[in-house]
């Protein structure tokens, strides 16, 4: 079916699925649903309200809110007016970061929730171009008057809707005229990159970009109208945006928002409760979330006793052996494992699935590379996590594993109606199986970066999007993504290696490391920065009746950490998993975790290497001196000592 704009897509679904529930929200004790028809009424009321505030076609409006009904309604209202939505992360805390985005996009207005309105009010003196603020929650009169004194219109969304109901006929005709003027090439969104080492880039996505990618997603994933999903990821993510919102709207399906707590920890505690109430058919996930799910599952099984834990691990081993990489499940002598696999599914894994509401059929994974061990784990449980790959610049889906075609360890097959090639440094296409930069072309690819011709010219060449990611295609058409070209380890002989697999494996296999970043820029050996798991270290000390502020305790911990890394070296448990030359020969322990607040992790929980390189430049340089080859150095001893404080 052809649509000319996202509002047209929405209208078509409203006509076909008027009585289906589109949005589900938990404002008090239970979820309440809003049908497509009811949502349509609220979108139009909101859009008329925005027109009354002076919003015109092509204007930009920022949207800053947690996932909720009014997030979707707000964005659709912006688009119905022919304006451009600028969805911003609620995790932006630095005023300068928010100010840059609002200024760079030239936002005429902001739609904001109560938890984040203080950020906007605090910047009003520096935003003369901002004309109005639409509040999703009531605000204190003092704040409202302060903003109005600066010449800004401030209005609560429900008041705006009510006011415009009285002018419905006039605004209704204007709204219809503007909406019908939309074309596929009109801009729908400006999505900002994390921008931790330079000014962030605003990725322009058109209505056509979204519509095309939604159709690509619908061709590879069957999402019937009775399906529902709980959205745990931030809704400004392009992944959640396309797959979690517009693909569901296209299919007449339903979406529920996570109940937001007063603190982050409270919100995280709400996840299992909301999952059991919503009973989703699928979930969107990123590696950090997948690890958290696995940890909670294993913790729950261990709590049932040693026998349950032994049976669980036995069931996993059998499932791993039977499933292999998914596409080659069973066959030959492995068919003998099928009855055992079904047995453990019935007595154990079914109970785990019930903890996810009982209807969960699969996860769709994105955001970063997902360790194959995690893929095998969820596949064994009967709720596969289908890894995909994409970039916001491609709206974002480029490839994905699916229920029909999947190979664990890969990022799946390239979506239909998209050209993909692997290019070498000379720009020439590489043969099947050879590594190079992933380059794509299709109608889901952005037209460019907002007000940044230089970055656009660098990324888009002759219609092709140069992703900056390394990968290769195998002979069956599966894409393997190896990591960012700019994050490569480069040896003194010029050989290159992507570090993500090693980092993920160390964090996955060792309970003593929370985070690790490998580094090598044409040196004779590789080094690392690492954040230890405080709880695991303190428990290790406690078992030996030692403390971290003692020399003996420090030596004990550092020997244990070295031992954990040696598991991947010659003679170790995981010998041969990775070339030994890329394992760290020197490690500096870091007292402060890499996080969003310090700019070293982005909103999808991927480490931002350039930011870390810049911040720890002196430490990384020191790691290549002889004294740092000794793990038991003064710096690392001090970090361990501070853990006990």
Phi, psi of 329 (to 5 degrees): -55, 140
Render the burial of 150-186: b for 16+ CB within 10 Å, e for the rest.
Answer: eebbbbebbebbeebeeeeeebeebbeebbeebebeb
Summarised one tens digit per residue, pLDDT across range 601-640 is 877 677 888 889 889 999 998 998 888 888 888 889 999 9
State yes or no: pLDDT of 69 exceeds 60: yes
Name the strands in the sheet holding 513-519, side by side, starting at the edge strand that comes first in the sequence: 513-519, 526-532, 584-589
Mean pLDDT of the chain: 91
Cβ contacts of 325 within 8 Å, gap of 6 or more? 407, 408, 409
Could you tell me where the DSSP H helices lie in 480-616? 500-509, 534-543, 551-566, 609-615
Secondary structure (3-state) at 454? helix
CB 186 within 8 A of CB 209: no
Domains in the chain with CATH codes? 6-211 (3.40.50.12780), 281-486 (3.40.50.12780), 488-643 (3.30.300.30)
Poorest-confidence range of 140-154, 207-221, 397-411, 521-535?
A: 140-154
- Position 560 scores a pLDDT of 92
Residue 483, by phi and psi: left (phi above 0), alpha (psi -120 to 50) or beta? left
The residues facing 436 across adjacent strands are 471
Strands 584-589, 489-491: parallel, antiparallel or unpaired by DSSP? unpaired
- Position 266 scores a pLDDT of 83
- C-alpha span between 15 and 57 (Å, rounded): 25
184, HSE (Cβ side, Cα atoms, 13 Å)? 12
CB 107 within 8 A of CB 60: yes
- C-alpha span between 378 and 600 (Å, rounded): 29
Mean pLDDT of the region 286-315 = 92
CB 542 within 8 A of CB 622: no
> Hey, CA dihedral for 229, 213, 240, 298, is it positive or negative?
positive
Which one has a higher pLDDT value, 314 or 598? Answer: 314
Percent of the chain with pLDDT over 70: 98
Burial label for 355, CB within 10 Å (0-12, 13-18, 19+), is middle
Summarised one tens digit per residue, pLDDT across range 170-204 is 788 899 999 999 999 999 999 997 654 457 899 99
Which one has a higher pLDDT value, 498 or 161? Answer: 161
- Position 268 scores a pLDDT of 80
Long-range (24+ apart) CB contacts under 8 A made by 313-316 are: 314/344, 315/344, 315/345, 315/348, 315/349, 315/380, 316/377, 316/380
- Position 196 scores a pLDDT of 43
Helix, strand and coil percent figures for the chain, each rounded to 5:
45, 20, 35
Q: What is the pTM of this model?
A: 0.84
Summarised one tens digit per residue, pLDDT across range 330-359 is 988 899 999 999 999 999 999 999 999 999
């Amino acid at each position: 079916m052809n649509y000319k704009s996202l509002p047209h897509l929405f209208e078509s679904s409203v006509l076909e699925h008027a009585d289906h529930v589109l949005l589900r929200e938990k404002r008090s004790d239970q979820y309440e649903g809003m049908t497509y028809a009811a949502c349509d009424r609220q979108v139009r009321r909101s859009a008329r309200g925005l027109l009354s505030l002076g919003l015109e076609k092509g204007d930009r409006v920022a949207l800053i809110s947690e996932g909720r009904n009014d997030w979707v309604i707000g964005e659709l209202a912006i688009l119905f007016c022919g304006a451009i939505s600028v969805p911003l992360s609620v995790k932006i805390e630095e005023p300068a970061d928010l100010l840059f985005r609002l200024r760079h996009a030239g936002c005429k207005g902001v739609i904001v929730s109560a938890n984040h309105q203080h950020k906007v009010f605090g910047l009003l003196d520096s935003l003369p171009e901002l004309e109005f603020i639409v509040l999703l929650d009531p605000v204190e009169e003092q704040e409202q008057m302060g903003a109005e004194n600066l010449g800004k219109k401030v209005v609560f969304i429900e008041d705006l809707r009510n006011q415009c109901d009285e002018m419905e006929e006039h605004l209704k005709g204007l709204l219809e005229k503007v909406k019908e003027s939309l074309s596929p090439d009109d801009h729908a969104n400006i999505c900002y990159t994390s921008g931790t080492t330079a000014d962030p880039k605003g990725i322009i996505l058109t209505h056509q970009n979204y519509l095309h990618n939604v159709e690509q997603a619908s061709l590879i994933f069957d999402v019937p109208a009775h399906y529902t999903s709980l959205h745990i990821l931030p809704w400004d993510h392009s992944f959640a945006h396309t797959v979690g919102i517009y693909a569901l709207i296209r299919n007449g399906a339903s979406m529920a928002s996570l109940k937001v707590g007063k603190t982050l920890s409270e919100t995280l505690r709400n996840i299992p409760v909301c999952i059991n109430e919503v009973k989703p058919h699928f979930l969107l996930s990123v590696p950090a979330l997948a690890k958290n799910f696995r940890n909670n599952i294993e913790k729950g099984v261990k709590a049932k006793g040693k026998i349950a834990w032994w049976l669980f691990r036995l069931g996993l081993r059998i499932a791993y052996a039977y499933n292999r990489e998914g596409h080659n499940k069973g066959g030959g002598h492995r068919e003998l494992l099928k009855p055992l696999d079904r047995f453990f599914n019935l007595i154990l894994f079914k109970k785990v699935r019930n903890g996810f509401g009982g209807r969960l059929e699969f996860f769709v994974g994105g955001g970063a590379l997902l360790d194959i061990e995690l893929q095998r784990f969820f596949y064994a449980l009967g709720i596969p996590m289908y890894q995909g790959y994409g970039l916001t610049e491609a709206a974002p889906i480029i490839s994905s594993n699916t229920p029909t075609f999947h190979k664990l360890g890969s990022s799946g097959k390239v979506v239909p109606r998209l050209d993909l090639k692997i290019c070498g440094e000379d720009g020439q296409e590489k043969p099947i199986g050879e590594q190079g930069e992933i380059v794509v072309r299709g109608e889901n690819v952005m037209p460019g970066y907002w007000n940044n011709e230089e970055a656009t010219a660098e990324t888009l060449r002759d219609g092709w999007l140069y992703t900056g990611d390394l990968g290769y295609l195998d002979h069956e058409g599966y894409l393997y993504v190896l990591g960012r070209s700019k994050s490569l380890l480069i040896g003194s002989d010029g050989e290159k290696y992507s570090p993500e697999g090693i980092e993920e494996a160390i964090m996955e296999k060792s309970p003593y490391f929370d985070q690790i970043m490998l580094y090598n820029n044409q040196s004779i050996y590789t080094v690392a920065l690492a954040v230890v798991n405080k709880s695991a270290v303190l428990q290790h000390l406690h078992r030996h009746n030692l403390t971290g502020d003692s020399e003996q305790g420090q030596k004990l911990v550092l020997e244990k950490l070295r031992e954990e890394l040696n598991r991947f070296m010659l003679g170790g448990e995981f010998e041969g998993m990775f070339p030994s030359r890329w394992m760290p020969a020197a490690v500096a322990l870091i007292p402060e975790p890499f996080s969003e607040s310090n700019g070293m992790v982005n909103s999808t929980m991927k480490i931002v290497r350039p930011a870390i390189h810049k911040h720890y430049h002196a430490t990384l340089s020191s790691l290549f001196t002889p004294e740092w080859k000794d793990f038991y150095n003064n710096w690392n001893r001090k970090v361990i000592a501070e853990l006990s404080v």
